[in-house]
Chains A and B, each alone.
Chain A
Amino acid sequence: MNKICYLLTESYTSAMKGYRILSRNSISAKVEKVGTSVSRRGCTFAIVIFNSPQKAVKILQENNVRILSVKER
């Protein structure tokens, strides 16, 4: 079964930007607001991906999307 990974971002805009970039790179993703107990920093939006996060994180970093942390479920 595929993993679900939450790539925590700085803001909704950042998450949406990342989501669009990943879509253009054929990586299936969606944007979700994550629970405070997960983010540990209050309101946080994450890019949710259904695969291993390494490739996605690399693409996002190359496109100036800052990922605060990666949570796997």
Chain B
Amino acid sequence: MIYFDNAATTYPKPAAVYRGCEEALYKFGANPGRSGHAFSMKTAEMVYSARETVADFFNASEVENVVFTPNCTASINMVLKGYLKNGAHVVISNLEHNAVVRPIFRLKKDGIIDYSVANVEEGNEDATLYNFKKAIRPNTKLVVCTHASNVFGIKLPIRKIGEFCRNRKIHFLVDAAQTAGIVPIDIKRDKIDFLCIASHKGLYAPMGTGILICENGKTLKSIIEGGTGSSSLDFSQPEQMPDKLESGTVNVVGIAGILHGINTINKVGIKTISAHEFMIVRNVYKQLNSNKNIKLYTEFPDERYHVPVLSFNILGLDSGYVIDELSKRGFALRGGLHCAPLAHLSKGTQEIGTVRLCPSMFTTIKESNELCKAIFNISNQKN
């Protein structure tokens, strides 16, 4: 199998991640931050090191601002439901994933909030920023945007939006599911209040791991309460971070994966990884763009405005059919709507979806050439 579904989750993981996760099952098998025995303390120390590594990687102000969650969707829900109060207005982009759209829609349906959608203009940061500014109301409490579309790979100017939000004293949530580990993110420089991360994607950790970095945990109410290994006589949830937002036993094996995933990225270099992945998508783009039966939806991939994620369709074919045909030929890609209905509405692809490909640091040029051949083969059979 040749795997191009890295936007859903990266595969394979670096050897260090496999080794680190296996080691965690043996060496870090006690519950961290609960018991006082040496085995538990050793596990807790590993979890702390992972927390510290994440904080350094994204330049968080304090190590305790890093919260381990089950996935990026959980991180986003923790902020939206823990922060937004009655009467609040929220601005989201038109490229959001359902991880944002559905909780926002639910909060609106329950009469708690109202929201507006700002359109993203591909390749025009100022126009995108203008659309966000235009959507702001006096009661806007939060701006939520994906760092990059999981469908079309279009990147949003988060630094400019963050700067605007900070000046207007509006909190800023960034969904970095598609960018963490591929695009450098500096939570302080980019003026992000809540950074939500799918660590099983660009950070190469196992599935079932996510991160929330909360620069001001005091602004959030917990939405899940329970055991934290601290202040256990108190019936109230502790206020201190990360305990406030991290009830229950954490995913120690997954956290070991995060630690080793980030260490690998640091070793290889985020710029090297990004340049490699761009080389792959540009190669595919050039080839697909030369075939008149193939429709691409974005401009030529440019680091300033895109991430290495590409959507296309073979004219006259449903994306699901193309995926099945590619699967028969040994390729793993995803078709359909990719849980991002707003993004499809913006490009008119809601009826047929798109075929999406995303390389990883392990994808080779040879594999991308083979993929293009397979796509042409399916296209020729149709036409």
- Whether B185 sits at the interface, judged by CB under 8 Å, is no
Which positions 29-80 of chain B face chain A at CB distance < 8 Å? 32-36, 41, 44-45, 48, 51-52, 62-64
Partner of A42, one of B41, B233, B240: B233
Question: CA–CA, A33 to B11, complex, Å?
Answer: 39
Question: CA–CA, A33 to B230, complex, Å?
Answer: 10
Contact B242 A42 (CB under 8 A): no
Residue of A nearest to B66 (CB): A13
Contact A31 B41 (CB under 8 A): yes
- Whether B234 sits at the interface, judged by CB under 8 Å, is yes
A11-B240, A33-B36 known; A43-B230 Cβ under 8 A: yes
**0/1 interface trace, chain A 19-39, chain B, CB 8 Å (1 if under):** 010000000000111101000
- Whether B364 sits at the interface, judged by CB under 8 Å, is no
Contact B33 A13 (CB under 8 A): yes
Q: Which residues of the other chain, B, contact A34 by a CB distance below 8 angstroms?
A: 36
Report how many A-B pairs have Cβ atoms within 8 Å. 67
A42-B232, A42-B234, A45-B230 known; A12-B32 Cβ under 8 A: yes
Contact A14 B231 (CB under 8 A): no
Contact A10 B234 (CB under 8 A): no
Number of chain B residues close to chain A: CB under 8 A: 26
Q: Which residues of the other chain, A, contact B319 by a CB distance below 8 angstroms?
A: none
Q: Offer 12 A-B interface pairs, CB within 8 angstroms, sorted by A.
A: A10-B240, A10-B243, A11-B33, A11-B229, A12-B32, A12-B44, A13-B51, A32-B36, A33-B41, A42-B233, A43-B229, A45-B33
Residue from the set A16, A34, A44 with the largest chain B CB neighbour count within 10 Å: A16
- Whether A64 sits at the interface, judged by CB under 8 Å, is yes
A10-B240, A13-B64, A17-B64 known; A42-B45 Cβ under 8 A: no
Contact A13 B48 (CB under 8 A): yes
Question: CA–CA, A20 to B62, complex, Å?
Answer: 13
New contact pairs (11) apart from A12-B229, A33-B35, A45-B33, CB-CB < 8 Å:
A10-B240, A11-B230, A12-B33, A13-B64, A13-B241, A13-B243, A14-B240, A16-B45, A20-B52, A43-B231, A44-B231
Question: CA–CA, A32 to B33, complex, Å?
Answer: 10
Partner of B233, one of A10, A12, A41, A66: A41
Question: CA–CA, A14 to B238, complex, Å?
Answer: 13
Q: Which residues of the other chain, B, contact A41 by a CB distance below 8 angstroms?
A: 231-234
Q: Which residues of the other chain, A, contact B41 by a CB distance below 8 angstroms?
A: 31, 33
